[in-house]
């Protein structure tokens, strides 16, 4: 985490000093580098593959800025320290826009990181004891997503109609009397020392050395899943050729092949 904290500090310093260059890019300079905020895993890895192997043919320059949380990439985009970011889902973006009043634009999906239920205490879901402690993300989008995963696997039942925005207060049936603990999403892998199970986002699971396809007790299903991670920018940049070119590269067959080979089912191209 000290390394991640250092990356975040460096990213913030870069954002403060480089606002002018982001504005220059917004003015339509096709030669300006795109400054893109990402989570370290897998987003930075995927974007670095694009920058190193594909961007040159498009005449595209990419500057990668890593963040270790889910808040700073959006606030840095709003204040024009970034030109785009690639770390979030549509539900998370909509929640941020509602809470902040900011206007950001979803450009397109790239990959899915299946949300998973992990444990250091049990090997199978049916071993979960009555009164077990369950870790969940404390942001609105991921808390609801985690609760839907628990419901999909028969552990709880939510009040009808609350599924998209559910909190722990919306749990209507809890036959195992599960005890919910909400934490910042980035802290959930570390919470496995104290919880019986925790619902962990794919990027944080991978970053913690977990292999979702092998280590999760249960994973979200990919089919019909609305939680793809994708490219986001500000409204004035949504038609910028560099943004469109970047999305095209992120959705290319080369990137799909890279994701499948590099992450072996723990990250799914969309």
Question: Residue 151 belongs to a domain with what CATH number?
Answer: 3.40.190.10
Q: Whole-angstrom Cα distance, residue 197 to residue 137? A: 12
> How much is the pLDDT for 8?
40
Write down which residue in 219, 240, 261 finishes a domain: 219
Say yes or no: 126 and 72 in one domain: no
DSSP-assigned letters across all residues of 172-224: EE-TT--EEEEE-GGGHHHHTTTSSEEEE-HHHHHHTT--HHHH-SEE--STT
pLDDT in tens, the chain (270 residues): 333 433 343 444 334 333 334 444 444 587 899 999 999 999 999 999 999 999 999 999 999 999 999 999 999 999 999 999 999 999 999 999 999 999 999 999 999 999 999 999 999 999 999 999 999 999 999 999 999 999 999 999 999 999 999 999 999 999 999 999 999 999 999 999 999 999 999 999 999 999 998 999 999 987 778 899 999 999 999 999 999 999 999 999 999 999 999 998 889 998
Say yes or no: 110 and 125 in one domain: no
pTM here?
Answer: 0.79
Say yes or no: 26 and 97 in one domain: yes
Q: Whole-angstrom Cα distance, residue 266 to residue 214? A: 8
Q: Whole-angstrom Cα distance, residue 145 to residue 166? A: 8
Say yes or no: 45 and 175 in one domain: no
Which of helix, strand or coil describes residue 118?
strand
Lookup: tokens for 245: 């070119």
> How much is the pLDDT for 270?
87
Say yes or no: 60 and 127 in one domain: no
Contact 255, 50 (CB under 8 A): yes
> How much is the pLDDT for 92?
95
Say yes or no: 96 and 196 in one domain: no
Q: Which residue has the tokens 């999403």?
A: 185
Region of 131 please: left (phi>0), alpha (psi -120 to 50) or beta: left
Lookup: tokens for 169: 């207060």
Cα dihedral value 95, 98, 103, 105, nearest 10? 30
Q: Whole-angstrom Cα distance, residue 132 to residue 123? A: 14
Say yes or no: 8 and 52 in one domain: yes
Say yes or no: 129 and 107 in one domain: no
Contact 213, 205 (CB under 8 A): no
> How much is the pLDDT for 224?
77
> Domain range for residue 125?
116-219
Say yes or no: 130 and 163 in one domain: yes
How many domains does one find in the chain? 2
Cα dihedral value 16, 69, 194, 148, nearest 10? 160
Say yes or no: 214 and 200 in one domain: yes
> How much is the pLDDT for 28?
57
Which of helix, strand or coil describes residue 232?
strand
Say yes or no: 263 and 241 in one domain: yes
CA–centroid distance for 11 within its chain: 18
Say yes or no: 155 and 196 in one domain: yes
> How much is the pLDDT for 249?
98
């Amino acid at each position: 985490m000290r390394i991640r904290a250092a990356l975040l500090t460096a990213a913030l310093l870069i954002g403060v000093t480089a606002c002018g260059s982001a504005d220059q890019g917004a003015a339509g300079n096709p030669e300006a580098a795109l400054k893109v905020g990402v989570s370290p895993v897998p987003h930075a890895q995927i974007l670095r593959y694009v920058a190193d192997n594909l961007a040159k043919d498009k005449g595209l320059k990419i500057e990668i800025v890593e963040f270790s949380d889910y808040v700073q990439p959006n606030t840095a985009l709003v204040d024009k320290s970034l030109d785009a970011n690639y770390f979030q889902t549509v539900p998370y973006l909509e929640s941020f826009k509602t809470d902040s009043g900011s206007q950001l634009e979803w450009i397109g999906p790239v990959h899915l990181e299946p949300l998973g239920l992990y444990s250091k205490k049990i090997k199978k879901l049916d071993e979960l004891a009555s009164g077990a402690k369950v870790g969940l993300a404390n942001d609105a989008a991921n808390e609801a997503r985690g609760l839907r995963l628990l419901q999909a696997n028969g552990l709880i039942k939510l009040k009808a109609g609350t599924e998209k925005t559910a909190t722990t207060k919306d749990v209507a049936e809890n036959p195992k009397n599960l005890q919910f603990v909400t934490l910042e999403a980035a802290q959930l892998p570390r919470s496995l020392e104290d919880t019986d199970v925790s619902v962990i986002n794919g990027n944080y699971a991978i970053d913690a050395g977990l292999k979702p396809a092998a280590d999760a007790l249960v994973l979200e299903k990919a089919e019909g899943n609305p939680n793809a991670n994708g490219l986001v920018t500000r409204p004035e940049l949504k038609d910028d050729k560099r943004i469109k070119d970047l999305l095209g590269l992120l959705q290319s067959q080369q990137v799909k092949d890279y994701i499948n080979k590099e992450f072996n089912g723990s990250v799914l191209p969309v």
